[in-house]
């Protein structure tokens, strides 16, 4: 027999050591005197392995039940305060939809947050940090939208920190990236809704699916004022491309509404 352990922690450590080697090579340690030791002793365990199992079970239950907190810890130094309001919950949900369905809108969405005087919500911030940590321009845009919190989170969670130190070209953060639009469609970027719909819908009707990126780029960069009418017109068309583009129009329109400056 071993001398009984002084504390539960020591007793558990001894049990782990004995279990590691096995009772064929190491005697079963005695538990500290008390209720646990009595309970284990009450069982009729002639076999050391059975006695070991009983002791392990009793200690495991006691350790989990006697669940006590660790000592209080110092809080982190908080980030600089950001007076901007956090984006509405619906805007955060729209961001997820954009990322899943129409990522072409994400840059404009982030700029709309900045221009609307909003601050990124925590869940969107973490997702965007993870998403753009290798893209210095988009990461800088996220930093602008999230304020001091972005750098603070990245400092504490290295998995979200930027990779590399590539420079951000001047003006790149504020500008929307160019999307290729053919000249015959580019002239629609500045027209009114009636003209836009009249010119676009017949083209979509005869378009092949391979032309979808062209129309997507156009609808991602056209004037927001034309989106509602365009969505309504496309939604009446009985083919998939038109319906998909109508969905894009509605989503872009909604995103801009949700992030309208306060």
Q: Which positions touch another protein (CB under 8 A)? A: 12, 15-16, 19-26, 47-50, 52-54, 56-61, 63-79, 86, 89-90, 92-94, 96-97, 121-123, 125-127, 129-130, 149, 152-153, 156-157, 159-160
Backbone angles phi, psi at 85, to 5 degrees: -70, 155
Which of 98, 117, 118 has its CA nearest to residue 106?
98
- Which of helix, strand or coil describes residue 105? helix
Task: Choose between 12 and 196: whose C-beta lies nearer to another protein.
Answer: 12
Rounded CA-CA distance 97/90 in Å is 11
Shortest distance (Å) from residue 189 CB to another protein: 29
Task: Choose between 56 and 168: whose C-beta lies nearer to another protein.
Answer: 56
**Is 244:251 a contact under the CB 8 Å cutoff?**
no
Q: What is the DSSP letter of 120?
A: -
Shortest distance (Å) from residue 112 CB to another protein: 17
Rounded CA-CA distance 151/82 in Å is 13
Rounded CA-CA distance 250/102 in Å is 11
Shortest distance (Å) from residue 71 CB to another protein: 6
Shortest distance (Å) from residue 174 CB to another protein: 24
Number of alpha carbons in the 13 Å side-chain half-sphere of residue 143: 17
Task: Choose between 12 and 109: whose C-beta lies nearer to another protein.
Answer: 12
Shortest distance (Å) from residue 102 CB to another protein: 13
Task: Choose between 74 and 167: whose C-beta lies nearer to another protein.
Answer: 74
Task: Choose between 53 and 168: whose C-beta lies nearer to another protein.
Answer: 53
């Amino acid at each position: 027999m071993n001398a009984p352990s002084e504390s539960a922690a020591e007793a558990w450590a001894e049990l782990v050591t004995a279990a590691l080697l096995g009772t064929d090579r190491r005697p079963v340690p005695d538990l500290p005197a008390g209720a646990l030791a009595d309970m284990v002793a009450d069982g009729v365990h002639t076999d050391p392995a059975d006695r070991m199992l009983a002791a392990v079970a009793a200690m495991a239950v006691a350790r989990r039940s006697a669940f006590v907190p660790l000592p209080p810890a110092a809080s982190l130094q908080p980030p600089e305060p950001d007076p901007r309001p956090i984006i509405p919950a619906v805007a955060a949900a729209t961001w997820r939809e954009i990322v899943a369905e129409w990522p072409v809108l994400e840059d404009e969405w982030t700029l709309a947050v900045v221009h609307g005087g909003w601050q990124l919500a925590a869940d969107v911030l973490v997702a965007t940090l993870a998403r753009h940590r290798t893209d210095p321009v988009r990461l800088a845009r996220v930093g602008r939208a999230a304020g001091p919190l972005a750098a603070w989170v990245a400092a504490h969670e290295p998995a979200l920190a930027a990779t590399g130190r590539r420079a951000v070209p001047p003006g790149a953060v504020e500008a929307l990236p160019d999307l290729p639009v053919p000249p015959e469609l580019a002239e629609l970027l500045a027209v009114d809704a009636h003209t836009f719909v009249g010119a676009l819908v017949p083209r979509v009707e005869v378009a092949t699916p391979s032309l979808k990126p062209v129309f997507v780029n156009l609808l991602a960069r056209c004037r927001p004022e034309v989106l509602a009418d365009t969505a309504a017109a496309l939604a009446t068309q009985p083919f998939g491309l038109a319906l998909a583009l109508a969905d894009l129009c509605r989503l872009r329109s909604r995103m801009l509404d949700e992030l309208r400056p306060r």
